Amino acid sequence: MRFSIRSIFLIVITIALSNIVGCASSPSVEPLVEEQDLGQNRAVLGPGDVIEIRVFGEEDLSGTHKISPEGTVRLPLIGRVYIVGLTSNEVTEKLTSEYNKDYLRDAQISVYVTEFNSRKVYVLGQVKTPGPFDYDERMTVIGAIARAGGVTRIANAQRTVITRIYNGQKERLFVDINKIGRGTVSDMSILPGDIIFVPESSF
């Protein structure tokens, strides 16, 4: 079958127009927040927090420790180590260095935070049990609201606000809880000290 130049031109135009219409009709997904999410989760340790230290192949060096009011933990062989203000990853690096100095060779150490007693998050507004809650490094917006018993019937969950102090600056993040629940946007990690406020619906 042979096509004229005019026929080929009409076919090309038709395909182009159909692609444009298809793109225009595709549903868009709104971002999770209306302001930029600020950095990585740097959950630093404080007095009263509890950590679990695992040293591979060294059961006597492994164990659970509570950070003292002075900001230290007392560990086998290396004694007291100051760890307040560090993340779990930074503690891992510090302990690996300390043990490798005189006692172990190529130590494999893991540090897990089991209790963040020094850190709180605050869930306020239209939730069933508002108040402060203990923070853990895997906590998300949905997890925090679940700890507060979920939202009330008059909550405007799509305008949930997170107030955060980051690098000395106050920031506000707007989160749509309904979209997270439907799976159309991802859940969001939170930081210790975050204030999550669920406003009341205006109607």
pLDDT in tens, 142-191: 999 999 999 999 999 999 999 987 666 788 999 999 999 889 999 998 88
CA within 13 Å, CB half, 52: 7
Q: Which residues pair with 171 in a beta bridge?
A: 164
Q: Which residues pair with 123 in a beta bridge?
A: 131, 196
Domains and CATH numbers, the chain: 50-115 (3.30.1950.10), 120-198 (3.10.560.10)
**pLDDT value, residue 28:** 33
